[in-house]
Amino acid sequence: MKWKTGITRVERDLIQVRGYDISDLIRKYSFGGACFLLFTGRVPTNEQGRMMDALLVSNIDHSLLSPSTAATRIAASGGTPLQAAVASGLLAVGSHHGGSVEETAHLFYEAVGRARREDMDIKLIAIRLLKDSKNNKRRIPGFGHSLHQHDPRVDGVLNLADELKISGDYVVFAREIERNSELHFGKHLQMNPDGAIAAVAMEMGFDWRMVRGFFIISRSAGLVAHAFEEYTRERPHRSFDLSEIEYDGPKNLKS
Amino acid sequence: MKWKTGITRVERDLIQVRGYDISDLIRKYSFGGACFLLFTGRVPTNEQGRMMDALLVSNIDHSLLSPSTAATRIAASGGTPLQAAVASGLLAVGSHHGGSVEETAHLFYEAVGRARREDMDIKLIAIRLLKDSKNNKRRIPGFGHSLHQHDPRVDGVLNLADELKISGDYVVFAREIERNSELHFGKHLQMNPDGAIAAVAMEMGFDWRMVRGFFIISRSAGLVAHAFEEYTRERPHRSFDLSEIEYDGPKNLKS
Amino acid sequence: MKWKTGITRVERDLIQVRGYDISDLIRKYSFGGACFLLFTGRVPTNEQGRMMDALLVSNIDHSLLSPSTAATRIAASGGTPLQAAVASGLLAVGSHHGGSVEETAHLFYEAVGRARREDMDIKLIAIRLLKDSKNNKRRIPGFGHSLHQHDPRVDGVLNLADELKISGDYVVFAREIERNSELHFGKHLQMNPDGAIAAVAMEMGFDWRMVRGFFIISRSAGLVAHAFEEYTRERPHRSFDLSEIEYDGPKNLKS
Amino acid sequence: MKWKTGITRVERDLIQVRGYDISDLIRKYSFGGACFLLFTGRVPTNEQGRMMDALLVSNIDHSLLSPSTAATRIAASGGTPLQAAVASGLLAVGSHHGGSVEETAHLFYEAVGRARREDMDIKLIAIRLLKDSKNNKRRIPGFGHSLHQHDPRVDGVLNLADELKISGDYVVFAREIERNSELHFGKHLQMNPDGAIAAVAMEMGFDWRMVRGFFIISRSAGLVAHAFEEYTRERPHRSFDLSEIEYDGPKNLKS
């Protein structure tokens, strides 16, 4: 069986990513820019390269509040090597952590696509989503955060997107949801980083199914830093202690 | 390239593990017995089958005190699927958690092997190890536990090994270390499950490098149970909260 | 925050799984039996213990034809430790590998549950499923295998279930699908191990969402054996070679 | 128990990495620059930021020749989600794949440190290493590649390091090993990317134990791209086929 791939061509003394020599990429592009090329096959403009870096930087770490980081710290304390500690953390990514950006990107993709096909106003589409969600008691992904009210990553990402002239329909749509939420959804919805990143990723032409990957790449850096801190600062075999665990099952049975 | 293997032969409508039809294994052996055959290539006696089951049962779960279980619970709370939650936990296995049984097995293998080659008394070899370790301030793996004093798994495993007449030089060696520790090491060393399992695994002829695998297989069952409990009983995205995290790095710097 | 659990109670010198002393479990139950207790909270009968062992034995290994085993061999060749090589393989479990048993269990659970609620004949429910699936061009999980026609694991599992008097409505349902497939689905559907295991697991009262876990536990043993074989028999860093990879993307572009 | 960390401070509406506001990092630094800050706690100069990007870009992908990529493709074909497919591949990182850069960094750190302490000429230290390694039949990590003779990543990384005036003793040391290998080691040693990256990472002041992390972060991008290609282009459940597997164990035994 042949394993076909259109990503990287490797022959003796030749490595080309999407057709471009690796030595050119090393010289010319930031890691964000190279990721843009790797994922889209298109050479990034300066603006696209900078924006991609910003998306990756925004999720680089969120301390042990993040399940992925907690898992990595605990795994590292078991004495597992770096790749395993990082993988342990990445595996905490899922529908409730890091995966929501995918759901958000999908929502934005469908909504803006529909607005374009039906030549409708973006604001009206946003309001319709708010009303429908209210009626069906559905939450809207990309808004709200358990800790932050004004998450600094949101303005960080969106202001740069504005400045680099990357903001377009998707960013407008996300902002219209926020702006009209009180009136049409019945409570204020504050955009979170998933919302901001999803909107900008859609502006840049990414497939919505790939956006979860940004979180994975980005967070792997934070996980490396946390595993290293665990190895070098802490005693081994850390987990929960007896006082943090409450057993509420049956006791003292006889078989 | 051919991938050679001597483990399982698969052809259309034929599956043989180490040469034995899978349907025979399904009918005749417990999972422990089948693992014995899979790992050694030898058909287990009744005693070997029962003992192997007991080794696997002994590590089946240790609640969230175990780093592996804590990592699995946290990963599951991120909304990752079962295989990923289990893998996240297994990755916490390492030199400080689940890996110590390998170190213990290696130590026992070397010590008893030397006793046999040099035709020395097992008890004397144990005492020599205690003295050397004391002089070199080396800890002896397989003894001591952060929580348990008399870990019920140790007697569970060793009593069965005695009864099944599997106990031999390795079990004697482990017990002699315990018995002579106060006198020759300067403090009492209580055998822990790693010590008991390593001794019995060596009695059964396992390669010491494979013994870490018993913990992995065994604990995977506990991790499945914990992931399932997390999915079905708890709210998502659980990790540490702000009050459990202490930031002690620099603050409010300007770049 | 407290981490609640009803699985295992651990205190100093005390370990109880679902309320039963670990030393009792070590002495009395096979690994399959202990898994039954761990997952259901019920003490297994002899028949349930034997059946659970058989379910675990049936998936213990399927050589490098299995994506999980292939991933583990390749990871092991990179020089990663045992827990990481096993985890790498487990992560290949998914909707197309090892996950299908869950889909099958869900289907059987719904279908037999409906037959019972509506007091309908199992055979009629099976025929209705075949017809519906044919009309909607839906495949039926638990039937058909890319390699085996008469997979020896199916008879191995089902004959034992018959003998132990565990077979009931679910096994009847699975067999009726097979028996009536040619007539009502338009082609013969041969039961595969997913079908047999799902049916028997449902007979034993398991939650259908947990059945994927059987594959994970079971296969972890095969993955340990394969990682060990890779470490001890092969040269490092094995992957695909140039002749097995076909690059079909763009070439020699200039940025 | 408190979990201490000096990496990222998180409070309501505040995220500071190593003391710097995340919104500043998003605006000012490439992902490589942010990684430099995250790992060292120091604000990167323009040169350090660019160099760090280049180190990350250099290992972004090497097609299915890489065990990590092969494992990710196979895992993805099993139908596992993106985080699990990427983790599966990262777990192939080990002493023979991706881990060698750590060994190389350690070697360079020790050698150059010794040269500095003993005020010796770098070239002489390199020659001494070559002679010692020849005499003890030890291979020298960071040199030689199974496929490439002149790996384009080596010049890509080193030319940029020269240009940015980052090259110093470590790069000199690595080049002296290459230059003097034929004469003093008995065969030409061509520097590979591990050698180039390790030398430059040491120039930038990284802890040698962290350098393996660069590979992990970098390659996670390639693994995302490959998993995505597998999901979107290929049929499921790909592994080795019967013709690629050679069973050489016992056959047709009776238990």
pLDDT tens figures, A183-218: 999 999 999 999 999 999 999 999 999 999 999 999
Percent of chain A with pLDDT over 90: 96
Q: Give me D87's structure tokens.
A: 């983790």
d(CA D119, CA D103): 24
Enumerate residue ranges in chain D where pLDDT < 50. Answer: none
Q: For the beta carbon of residue C41, count every other beta carbon within 10 angstroms.
A: 17
Chains that touch C (3 or more CB pairs under 8 A): A, B, D
Chain C partners within 8 Å of D240 (Cβ): 64-65, 70
Nearest to D27 among A30, A160, A231 (CB): A160
Does the predicted model carry a pTM greater than 0.90?
Answer: yes
Q: Does A71 touch chain B (CB under 8 A)?
A: yes
Query: Average per-residue pLDDT in chain D?
Result: 96
From chain B residues 29-68, the ones with a CB under 8 A of any chain D CB are 37, 41, 43
Is the per-residue pLDDT at A108 higher than 90?
A: yes
Q: How far is A27 from chain C (nearest CA, A)?
A: 11
Nearest to D70 among C98, C236, C240 (CB): C240
d(CA D207, CA A173): 45
Q: How far is A126 from chain D (nearest CA, A)?
A: 26
Nearest to A84 among B80, B91, B96 (CB): B91
Which residues fall within 8 angstroms of residue A16, CB to CB, at 6 or more apart?
Answer: A8, A9, A22, C251, C252, C253
d(CA D242, CA D240): 7
β-pairing, A8-11 vs D3-5, is unpaired
Q: What is the mean pLDDT of residues A29-47?
A: 98
pLDDT score, position A255:
85
Chain D: residue whose CA lies nearest to A39: D225
d(CA A84, CA C85): 10
Q: What is the mean pLDDT of residues A31-55?
A: 98
Chain D partners within 8 Å of B37 (Cβ): 255
DSSP 8-state code for residue C187: S
User: Are D31 and A241 in contact (CB < 8 Å)?
Assistant: no
From chain B residues 225-244, the ones with a CB under 8 A of any chain C CB are 225-229, 231-234, 238, 241, 244
Is the per-residue pLDDT at A145 higher than 90?
A: no
Which residues fall within 8 angstroms of residue C24, CB to CB, at 6 or more apart?
Answer: A254, A255
Bridge partners of D143, per DSSP, are D191
User: Are A250 and C87 in contact (CB < 8 Å)?
Assistant: no
Coil, strand or helix at B143: strand
pLDDT score, position B145:
87
Query: Average per-residue pLDDT in chain C?
Result: 96
Enumerate residue ranges in chain C where pLDDT < 70. Answer: 1
Chain A partners within 8 Å of B65 (Cβ): 239-242, 245
User: Are B15 and C98 in contact (CB < 8 Å)?
Assistant: no
Chain B: residue whose CA lies nearest to D246: B4
User: Are B18 and D43 in contact (CB < 8 Å)?
Assistant: no
Please report the beta strands in C111-240, taking only residues with DSSP state E, as ranges in sequence order.
none
User: Are D80 and C93 in contact (CB < 8 Å)?
Assistant: yes
pLDDT score, position B1:
67
pLDDT score, position C1:
67
Q: Does A146 touch chain D (CB under 8 A)?
A: no
pLDDT along chain B (255 residues), means of 10: 93 98 98 98 98 98 97 96 98 92 97 94 96 96 92 98 98 98 97 98 97 97 98 93 94 94
Q: For the beta carbon of residue A12, count every other beta carbon within 10 angstroms.
A: 11
Chain D: residue whose CA lies nearest to C70: D239
Q: What is the mean pLDDT of residues A51-62?
A: 98
Q: For the beta carbon of residue B235, count every other beta carbon within 10 angstroms.
A: 8
User: Are A23 and D156 in contact (CB < 8 Å)?
Assistant: yes
